Amino acid sequence: MTTNSTGSADRAQEPSDQEFTVRRATAEDIPGLVAMLADDALGARRETPSDLDPYRAAFDRIDADANQHLVVAELRGTMAGTLHLTIIPGLSRRGAVRSLIEAVRIHADFRGSGLGTRLIEWAVAESRRQGCALVQLTSDATRVDAHRFYERLGFQASHLGFKMPLD
């Protein structure tokens, strides 16, 4: 078990349950969450950490919706990751409820620590707890490391993900 977070050897170990927690995000988390979203090859072009107003408005809408679970992963009390889990009822697959994972980020200080695995495992367990028959996500075609990561966790790249930005 690790006792500090400064050494790369320590970071290579899996965090223990005592050190790792997932909690619902609060409005106070917004600056830290946006910083993580922006600290990413794709996110850097999409996010504006210097202007948090649109994020605050979005947070209020997310927080008011019982099907949205924007969460913060903490390692030894420090914000270390985030994801957004959406619960989606549906008619297909015999009325299956599915969940969608979006906006997965691990703080740069904690990458390679096993935290991403723990966080996705949390999302899968939470989806199961909420009665979902399926968990799904899309990953940009350029994120080859992420694809291997999700496949190791038991996801299958069975689909193509299509997107269309609107003006």
Q: Which residues bind a second copy (CB under 8 A)?
A: 30, 33-34, 37, 43, 46-48, 54-59, 61-62, 65, 67-68, 70, 84, 86, 88-97, 100, 102-103, 124, 127-128, 132-141, 147, 150-151, 153-167
Let me know how long the chain is: 167
* Cβ partners under 8 Å of residue 127, min gap 6: 85, 87, 99, 135
Question: Which CB, 5 or 52, lies closer to a second copy?
Answer: 52
The torsion region of residue 76 among left (phi > 0), alpha (psi -120 to 50) and beta comes to: left
CA gap 1, 95 in Å, rounded: 43
How far apart are CB 1 and a second copy at their closest, in Å? 29
Q: Which is nearer to a second copy, 32 or 114 (CB)?
A: 32
- Tell me how far, at minimum, the Cβ of 28 lies from a second copy, in Å: 14
Which DSSP symbol is given to 14?
P
Token readout for 134 is 């399926």
**What minimum distance in Å lies between the beta carbon of 18 and a second copy?**
27
| Least distance to a second copy, CB of residue 30, Å | 8
Q: Three-class SS of residue 13?
A: coil
Give the residue with the Cβ less far from a second copy, 75 or 101: 101
Q: Which is nearer to a second copy, 4 or 61 (CB)?
A: 61
Closest CA to 76 of 117, 120, 1, 20: 20
